[in-house]
Amino acid sequence: MASPSGVLSMSKLIKPLWGGRLRNTVNVFGATLTSRREKSSLTGENIPPPAKYGGRHTVTLIPGDGIGPELLNHVREVFRFSCVPVDFEVVHVNSSLATEDDINNAITAIRRNGVALKGNIETIHTMPPSVKSRNNLLRTTLDLYANVMHCQSLPGVQTRHKNIDIMIIRENTEGEYSSLEHESVAGVVESLKIITRNNSLRIADYAFRLAREKGRRRVTAVHKANIMKLGDGLFLQCCREVAAGYPDITFDSMIVDNTTMQLVSKPEQFDVMVMPNLYGNVVSNVCAGLVGGPGLVPGANYGRNYAVFETATRNTGKSIANRNIANPTAMLLASCMMLDHLKLHDHASSIRNAVLTTMNETRLHTVDIGGQGTTSEVVQSIMRFIQSKGQLTTEL
């Protein structure tokens, strides 16, 4: 753990936004981690794999496409510099191939290691309908049913709205992402949206448990039950049933189109939000934009047995790939969430504090948030801060 003096200046700056939670930085961008760590004996869910080989952990690393490979190289650079006891098993997935051999190899590696850190894998829409999204295959095959994004205002980042602190819980395995489509007659395509009672109850309970464990006071279910009365109606009914078991938490619901308008006008009204798959995709991108963009927000996918960490908005960033201008913040913070999941809290806190300090005190920003810094310059500044705190490091 970084020394108290090492985070004192940051805690003074961040306290108005995060209520002094920087004292325990596991809570920052680690929304579900303490819940799974503390409650694993009760729920039987997602117990992180034990360390092996002299206290080291092996993590599957999937570079993905676009800016994924370069950002994950920077993560590895920071980990080596900080002497983090993690070894990466790198598995490349070629998104341009029609065969599923690559993604099956990646899934096997995650089953072996229990944890993964990944860049986004491009889904090429011009490929045949039989070629399924590799990202979607990974989540459904491993039953990573809960996608979690903690959207917070960051110190040092200028945005229209302040004090945003929203947790988004997205059902990750069904809905419009069921990959069930067919052309019934020429020119008529039917896409099936699958909503099941079991999965709806599961994600709703996850959201309410998380809200209770984090001291949250409200859960909002996002839906379109006024039009999709059976599908979204079932999801909404399941949320209401689960809410009845949590009388200490206020429950409300909101139609998805109104939700997007309310988010951009009064985002402070939201606390915890739970929703089906497609709405989660839309809302998470809106929320990322509210706090500064896709380069700032980490995300996680949790199942009973596995956890996969990535940037929250799942953008490949192909247009800025290999130009040394991508914002490394989201990927580095996702790696900190992964370290917390592995119970390497001191390393997670050290890297997280360095990322936030670089953003707020040195004001070294990449182009996406109004700065002129390069990716490499930001990463070097982060490593210098880690070194300045006296932590065991290798040479810069």
pLDDT in tens, 269-278: 999 999 999 9
Q: What is the mean pLDDT of residues 101-117?
A: 97
More confident site: 18 or 139 = 139
Task: Provide the pLDDT for residue 347.
Answer: 96
The percent of residues above 70 in pLDDT, for the chain, comes to 87
Mean pLDDT of the chain: 88
pLDDT class for 48, splitting at 50, 70, 90?
Answer: confident
Identify the three-state secondary structure at position 260: helix
Buried b (16+ CB within 10 A) or exposed e, 157-184: beeeeeebbbbbbbbbbbbbbbbeeeee
Task: Provide the pLDDT for residue 29.
Answer: 54
Question: Which of 190, 196, 198, 168 minimizes the C-alpha distance to 281?
Answer: 168
Q: Which amino acid is at 372?
A: Q
pLDDT class for 221, splitting at 50, 70, 90?
Answer: very high
More confident site: 14 or 57 = 57
194-216 per-position pLDDT tens digit: 999 999 999 999 999 999 999 99
Q: Residues 6 or more apart from 4 whose CB is under 8 A from it?
A: none
| pTM summary value | 0.87
- Give CA–CA dist 25/349, Å, rounded: 6
pLDDT class for 282, splitting at 50, 70, 90?
Answer: very high
Q: What is the mean pLDDT of residues 308-331?
A: 94
The runs of H, that is alpha helices, within the chain are 4-18, 33-43, 68-81, 101-113, 134-141, 197-213, 231-243, 256-265, 277-291, 329-341, 345-360, 375-388
Q: Which amino acid is at 318?
A: K
Task: Provide the pLDDT for residue 50.
Answer: 77
Task: Provide the pLDDT for residue 396.
Answer: 62
With vertex at residue 37, the alpha carbon angle to CA 303 and CA 59, rounded to the nearest 5 degrees, is 60
Strand ranges of the sheet holding 307-311, from the earlier edge strand across to the other edge: 86-90, 57-62, 115-118, 307-311, 298-302, 146-152, 165-171, 272-275, 218-223, 250-255
49-90 per-position pLDDT tens digit: 877 777 899 999 999 999 999 999 999 999 999 999 999 999
pLDDT class for 125, splitting at 50, 70, 90?
Answer: confident
Identify the three-state secondary structure at position 258: helix
Q: What is the mean pLDDT of residues 321-343?
A: 97
Cβ burial of 44 (10 Å; 0-12, 13-18, 19+) is: exposed
Task: Provide the pLDDT for residue 19.
Answer: 39
